[in-house]
A and B are shown apart, each in its own frame.
Chain A
């Protein structure tokens, strides 16, 4: 338990690319958000009664 706490408290690994400096957890989060955004655009939204176009 104590060791696990120490492991979690360790500083995250960082990516250094020129002037870009970002922790890997933050990079993974941003990548996940981009993927989620792309999925939201591509995946069709379920329509009422299965027909195409809900309309007003």
Chain B
């Protein structure tokens, strides 16, 4: 096999097809841009990146909590600190995610082929609620027991109680520290890639040449 054939990847393999599609749909200048359209100069566009920053703090503090465990986060000063850091990072995550949602809703950010971006964002919102809920259930204190005892009837009435047992700490903790954070992270990466592929949506009344 010559070098030309190896570099062009003209065969029908899925790796070659994926590489060509990425090169066409997401060139590096779009993936890591250093300039943005003039209408992006607004504080409203900052809400999304603040949400991501809060998510980073949430995951980082959660890794520390998972390493040392409930005994540590309930009894030691450092544990209380990281417990609070985790809690307040989540509060900021939800506050700025909702502000980001308001901003994108009022600028109709699903226009011009951006519906998938909007839908992934909506799914992130729903999965984040599951993340917060399992987090409350994983606290290992009276609060989490109270929430679980009240939530079990709602979950059972929905029919999901057979495979989602809120009284099962192991299941809720496993979901909270493993599956749900992975889902949120993957979805957020997808969301950002989609924004990079199509660019930031132009204002509704922007001239056509400026919006392209």
Q: Which residues of A contact B (CB under 8 A)?
A: 29, 33, 36-37, 39-41, 43, 45, 47, 53-56
Given contacts A29-B95, A37-B103, contact A56 B44 (CB under 8 A): no
Q: How far is the CA of A47 from the CA of B35 in the complex (A)?
A: 12
CB-based contact B41/A56 at 8 Å: no
Subset of 24 A-B contacts with CB under 8 Å: A33-B95, A33-B98, A33-B99, A36-B99, A37-B44, A37-B102, A40-B43, A40-B44, A40-B46, A40-B99, A40-B103, A41-B43, A41-B44, A43-B43, A45-B41, A45-B42, A47-B41, A54-B35, A54-B40, A55-B35, A55-B38, A56-B35, A56-B37, A56-B38
Q: Classify chain B: how many residues form its interface, as a range.
A: 10 to 19
Q: Which residues of B contact A (CB under 8 A)?
A: 35-38, 40-44, 46-47, 95, 98-99, 102-103
For B95, the closest partner residue in chain A by CB is A33
Residues of A within 8 A of B103 (CB): 37, 40
Shortest distance in angstroms between B100's beta carbon and chain A's nearest beta carbon? 10
User: Which 3 residue pairs are nearest across A and B when measured between Cβ atoms?
Assistant: A40-B43, A45-B41, A56-B35
Shortest distance in angstroms between B168's beta carbon and chain A's nearest beta carbon? 26
CB-based contact A56/B95 at 8 Å: no
- Give the residue of B36, B38, B42 whose beta carbon is less than 8 angstroms from that of A40: B42
